[in-house]
Structure 1
Amino acid sequence: MNKTVFITGFLLMTMILLGFSEAVNWKQAQARQNNNEVVNVYGPGGPLGPMEELAKQFKKETGINVNVIGGAEAKWIDQAKQDADIIYGGSEYMLRDIMLKYPGMIDEKTRTELYPRAAGILVRKGNPKNIQSLEDLAKSGVKIIDVNGAGQLGLWEDLAGRKGLISRIDRNIAVSVKTSAEAIELWKANSKYDAWITYESWHYRLKNETDLVQFPEEDKLYRGTPVSITSSSDNKKESKQFIEYLKTESSHQVFQKWGWK
């Protein structure tokens, strides 16, 4: 009798342990699957604010991790070649430039335009030079930072050309750099620079260091914010899901909060 009870108990315990082991293995497999479900997103620093905010919201709503890496292209392009699922641009020409430099990296069929953003003028807090218009940037003594790249290539010239101010604004450009990160570093380090013709959206990243002078609507210049899935992505389904999420009205409102139209 005791032997029978012992054997029965042993068998029950074995079954329980086997069941527990299977449950643990299943949970571990699920955890591995969830950890692998990471969408890697790369792009310039301009749209980084809304992209990061929406990545966090997307994770809360879907459980899918979105890892956003933003900044100067040179800092992330090598890693992006290895594991990027999505690439976004700070303007249409920026994404096109990546497509030309790295043929086959981007799946052109997935290219999607999100929201446009307008150019504006960043000035010092309190606007000590009383800069109110593009014409004011042509006045003697105004020192301008120019970003000759990073989505801003030719931005000031397109604006100035409409008003016949190209040569007068050009002579007031005190320094030209390739990236917004360089412009920000100069702006913070040296108060001699009075203005930076860039996107309005940068003011929302630099509220403590800048005031924003907006152009009248009829003078505004807009550039786009494209996004695309990479050809080598292992997470195409999740990447498409995230891009669709970026196109929702609630996501549009987040972009608007950061200075997009």
Structure 2
Amino acid sequence: MGLVIVCGFIGACFIPSSHENTKRSEITVLAGAGLMKPMNELTTNFEKNTGVKINVQYGGSGELLGTLMTSKKGDVLIVGERTNIEKAKEKGYMLNDTIVNITSHEPVIAIKKGNPKDIHSLKDLSKENVKIAIGDPQACAIGKVSEQLFNKHGISPNIVAKTPTVNQLLTYIISGQVDAVIIWGDMLTWPESRSKIEIIKIEGVKNQTILAGVTSISKNPEISKEFVRYLKSNESKVIWEKWGFKLID
């Protein structure tokens, strides 16, 4: 039987061998939980067009770094917070020349539909009758951003819960357990949040860059590099934009 060469739509070509095919055609991606919607589409497309199996583990950026360092498993790391990528680099867990900026998203205040607590700015989160939940600054990117915003503006809100992922914050506000949360603006595109919450822009806030790179412990670095390149492809940009993310060069 002739040898079959598999060429993906992203320009990735690899030649399967009888003893390496299973190992070479599977990678594990550690991705921020807030990226779940676009990542589900992106990984499905990549799998369909290349035959590569992608296992995705979602979590907070701090949690993912911990997973990488303790389990010594993971081929690609994708997080929405630069500090944790820098920590991974410092500890030798990244192939530094593979790290790229993928896209960005904007921190916003999410409130109940109709704005019953009359919240219009970051300062209003410190009202006595307003209960909020935030991401745990040690566990997820949005938690670190929230903490920085409160410190910068001298705000001491009534925090009743801290969560390890931004996805749990969305659950808190939709279920009515709190009056406000700080999440990513792109999460308003999620089916579960449409028509259920409103967002308030935070004056002067900067978009947070999402970065991706191949780990130094990857067992499939070439395929992993192709996947990271795919995340910046024109096809991928359409998907990121569809889910509310901001395109960057």
Q: Place the TM-score, normalised by the shorter chain, in its bin.
A: 0.7 to 0.9
CA deviation vs aligned residue, 1:1-48 (integer Å, no higher than 9, x gap): xxxxxxxxxxxxxxxxxxxxxx49x9xx86875543112111221112
Structure 1 residues 46-195: aligned runs within 5 Å: 46-72=34-60, 73=63, 77=67, 81-100=71-90, 103-149=91-137, 150-160=140-150, 164=153, 166-167=154-155, 170-180=156-166, 182-184=168-170, 186-187=172-173, 191-195=176-180
- Tell me: CA distance 1:114–1:97, structure 2 relative to 1, closer, same or farther (3 Å): same
Displacement of 1:195 in angstroms is 0.5
Relative to 1, partners in 2 of residues 1:91 and 1:154: Cα closer, same or farther, differing over 3 Å?
Answer: closer
For 1:223, which of 208, 218, 229 is the aligned residue?
Answer: 208
Report the RMSD for the aligned CA atoms in angstroms: 3.3
- Other structure's SS at 1:254 match: helix
* Ranges of 4+ aligned residues in structure 1 off by more than 6 Å: 29-32
Q: TM-score, normalised by structure 1?
A: 0.73
| SS in structure 2 at match of 1:242 | helix
Aligned length: 229
Higher fraction of helix: 1
Q: Which runs of 5+ in 1 are unaligned?
A: 1-22
SS at match of 1:219: coil
Conservation of the 8 A alpha-carbon contact between 1:147 and 1:176? yes
Find the structure with the greater CA-based Rg.
Answer: 1
Q: Which amino acid aligns with 2:187?
A: W
Query: % of aligned pairs identical?
Result: 25
Relative to the length of structure 2, the TM-score reads 0.76
Higher percent of residues as strand: 2
Partner of 1:241: 226
Gaps of 5+ in 2: 5-15
For residues 93 and 70 of structure 1, the distance between their equivalents in structure 2, rounded to whole angstroms, comes to: 18
